[in-house]
Amino acid sequence: MTQYINHIIETIAAYSSEFEKAGLTPPQTADIYMGQPIRPDDFEFTLPAVFIEYSADYDNETFDLILHVVQDFGADTENFAPERAKGLDFITFLSVLKRCLYGVKMQPVFKPLRLYKEVPMPPDFFYYNLLSFRCNFDTDKYSEKERYIDVSPVRYVLENGKLKDTMKGV
């Protein structure tokens, strides 16, 4: 699992330029979820931040990746706010992050991630959203012992604005 978490963090970092092209600050903190958005005084982190939570259902052969996405409050978003379009940048941030992770996979066990749920959380100090991705295990390549060992990630790099698989044939 350590390789997979590192792979998610590296993929997000590889997309920094995509956030910047959209006029946004890329994620400054990426970490395992331990309640940071709920108890911000107990943790040190810089916004925007992405906290990674996961669950594996071995009987149903599904893997869920839940991202806790935390951003600074921007401009107001009310219908009368003069900079409402700028205030909605937090939604653009989520869109870039979704594009970043949609289709990421781990070989040989996991099939590509797909987004299945997005939930705005009640804000206290910042914008807080959950993005939930899911993938299935590849039952042709999955075995009982692989539940207990790390698998190799599919490495992607940005090339001309597109992700390129760099581990073909591995």
pLDDT in tens, the chain (170 residues): 677 788 889 999 999 999 999 999 999 999 999 999 988 889 999 999 999 999 988 788 888 999 999 998 876 666 776 777 777 889 999 999 999 999 887 776 778 899 999 999 987 778 999 999 999 876 566 555 555 555 555 555 555 655 555 544 44
Hey, is 93 helix, strand or coil?
A: helix
Is the pTM above the cut of 0.95? Answer: no
- For helices 2-14 and 89-101, give the axis angle rounded to 10 degrees: 130
DSSP E strands in 11-126: the ranges are: 29-32, 49-57, 62-71, 106-107, 114-120
What count of other Cβ atoms lies within 10 Å of the Cβ of residue 71? 22
Strand partners, 157: 164
Q: Tell me, what's the pLDDT at 143?
A: 54
Strand partners, 62: 57, 136
Please name each of the domains of the chain with its CATH number.
Answer: 2-165 (3.30.2000)
In angstroms, what CA-CA distances link 99 with 12, 43, 110, 130? 10, 28, 18, 15
CA distance 161 to 154: 18
Q: Tell me, what's the pLDDT at 137?
A: 73
Q: Which residues of 99-124 are buried (b: 16+ CB within 10 A; e: fewer)?
A: ebbebbbbbebbbebebeeeeeeeee
Q: Tell me, what's the pLDDT at 159?
A: 59
Q: Tell me, what's the pLDDT at 67?
A: 97
